[in-house]
Structure 1
Amino acid sequence: MPDRERLREELRIPKPRNATGRNLPAAIGTGAVLGVVVLAAIIAGPAAWYPLLAVVSALATWEVLRRLRESDWLVPAAPLLLGGQATLWATIPFGVRGLTAAMSLTCMVTVVQRLFHEGMRTPPRNWLRDSAAAVFVILWIPVPLAFAAMLSTLEAPGGGDPGLQILAFMLGVIASDIGGFAFGVFFGRHPMAPAVSPKKSWEGFAGSLVLGIAVSVGSAILLLDRPWWFGVALGVGLVFAATLGDLVESQVKRDLGIKDMSRLLPGHGGLMDRLDGMLPAAAITWILLVLAS
């Protein structure tokens, strides 16, 4: 018996049931670099956090638009890219009202632009399909990122640092990912939604709940100065949001017939492959914090 197998038997380490499907060294290295960049922006405050998310919004939107165009979806790029920036930056002076106004205007401009993309004399083809895809992209990327941006300006309990609210949200999502990954690899047996994401299991979801709630309770007490029950609510909300976000992105890639959105991030795939769970989780975090205040 090889030394590694003998050591596994001696330590009774459970053998993984499923392949990870990742280049772990590359994924860990990329994750470390991203973590440093994000942490630096959180510490610097809105002056760095907003520009970082603006760049992320543009790159993620372009990544998705490129994939849509490769599959013969004609979604106007300029209105979405400019409108996404407006949706994010409008939250500084006007908050949620600015987000809503910029989002609504972007949707209208995009739909009208697609209507006349081929000119005034040529009937548009697949207009409804492409317009629906454009609105989906707006709601999928710029809007949640705008909520993530507003976390940096949302008043914290007791005059605390708003950056701690961003940190709590990100720690909860990361814990959900780690718990789901570990439990799914070692114990995953029952598929959660095989028609959408065959590798996601109920055992992995249970791991996400356990670790996501545990970390969120600790964050609520130590970082947010809030009671333990708020941490439970936050953890449950983050896990459900992150899981649904992952399933949505899986279905988008399935519709487009692709494995990754791009190869921008070694070990992770594309930017949206890393953001899929973060986006809805940011919106859920903002909502819960506002309700709690």
Structure 2
Amino acid sequence: MEHIRPKNSAGRDLKQAIAVGVSLGALVLLAIFVIPFGWYPLVATAVFLATWEVHARLKEHGYVLQRIVLLIGGQAMVWLSLPFGTNGLVSGFVASVLLLMFGRLFHHGRNTAPQNYLRDMSIGIFVLTWIPLFGSFAAMLSQLEQEGVRYGMYIVTFMLCVVASDVGGYIAGVMFGTHPMAPAVSPKKSWEGFGGSIVLGSIAGMLTVTLFLGGTWWIGMLLGVGLVICATLGDLVESQFKRELGIKDMSAMLPGHGGIMDRLDGMLPSAMVTWLVLSLI
């Protein structure tokens, strides 16, 4: 009997990637169920490291951004969402953008005209949106409450759907991927992989929403499909970001995965749609 052979290679050290992935999963479970109030510090740390990492790559390629504004502003956005919800998040975002605008304007003093101001401001606002703004929605999942739903189940629902999307996309892409979605942006991402993500992500969404949250199956399917679409587009955004900078990975912070943003690229935008859909419940 002829064995089905993969059409594509994984592209990474799979054993190393799995080991790191399991370790990250264990850290997430500890932050949810063992460490008191551990979820917010975990998200805030991930946002800090990802922002530092992205700023370092941008600085290497000539972009001028105030790192302290990006880091402190990002932390303000995350932590202000704890007591004040979306109002605190928006306030932190607006304050960070203002500081970035004014700080970049006078980066070289009052007597020297700023160079590439619009370019650097645009990428600065993009970074603030891409990492801490989206990341804050992941943090706020811990604040969703419903009678009869155990604490942390909203976060677990999100994480399981993300894992299902990744696994479904990986298996289908490696085994059957032949039709690229956006070859000019990410040649390895295929429609077959996207289909695998949709199938497994939708199944995970329906199971977790009905079993953990007491919701209806169609809300779970909506969550799964929306999460997969956002995760896929987030993946493509990061691919284009790295393509324009001419780099393969954001860093080597996570062996087998690359950098923090190489792991969070799809999770960050999908956290926003997860918070939105689960808030409806």
Q: TM-score, normalised by structure 2?
A: 0.98
**Structure 2 segments unaligned to the other structure (5+ residues):** none
Inter-CA distance 33–255: structure 2 relative to 1 (3 Å threshold): same
User: Which of 150, 162, 168 does residue 140 from structure 2 map onto?
Assistant: 150
Deviating beyond 6 angstroms after TM superposition, the runs of 4 or more aligned structure 1 residues are none
Shift of 1:46: 6.7
Shift of 1:47: 1.3
Task: Read off the aligned partner of 1:200 and give its amino acid letter.
Answer: K
Q: Distance in 2 between matches of 1:277 and 1:13?
A: 32
Question: Is the 8 Å Cα contact of residues 115 and 127 (structure 1) preserved in structure 2?
Answer: yes
User: Which of 168, 171, 181 does residue 157 from structure 2 map onto?
Assistant: 168
Q: Distance in 2 between matches of 1:35 and 1:224?
A: 21
SS in 1 for 2:40: helix
Shift of 1:144: 1.2
How is 1:1-293 mapped onto 2 (pairs within 5 angstroms)? Answer: 10=1, 12-44=2-34, 47-156=37-146, 158-290=147-279, 292-293=280-281
Shift of 1:45: 6.8
Bigger drift between 195-204 and 37-46 goes to 37-46
Q: Distance in 1 between matches of 2:151 and 2:275?
A: 11
Q: Distance in 1 between matches of 2:35 and 2:100?
A: 32
Q: Distance in 2 between matches of 1:41 and 1:29?
A: 19
> Deviation string for 1:241-271 (max 9, x for gaps)?
1101101100100111000000000000000
Q: Distance in 1 between matches of 2:251 and 2:215?
A: 39
Question: Is the 8 Å Cα contact of residues 46 and 153 (structure 1) preserved in structure 2?
Answer: no
Question: Is the 8 Å Cα contact of residues 45 and 152 (structure 1) preserved in structure 2?
Answer: no
Number of aligned residue pairs: 281
Shift of 1:145: 1.2
Shift of 1:159: 3.6
Structure with greater Cα Rg: 1
> Deviation string for 1:101-127 (max 9, x for gaps)?
110110110111011101111111101
Identity of aligned residues (%): 54
Q: Distance in 1 between matches of 2:3 and 2:86?
A: 50
Q: TM-score, normalised by structure 1?
A: 0.94
SS in 1 for 2:143: coil
Shift of 1:76: 1.1
Two-structure CA RMSD over aligned residues (Å): 1.1
Q: Distance in 1 between matches of 2:122 and 2:90?
A: 18
Q: Distance in 1 between matches of 2:229 and 2:58?
A: 27
Question: Is the 8 Å Cα contact of residues 46 and 152 (structure 1) preserved in structure 2?
Answer: no
Q: Distance in 2 between matches of 1:178 and 1:92?
A: 31
**Structure 1 segments unaligned to the other structure (5+ residues):** 1-9
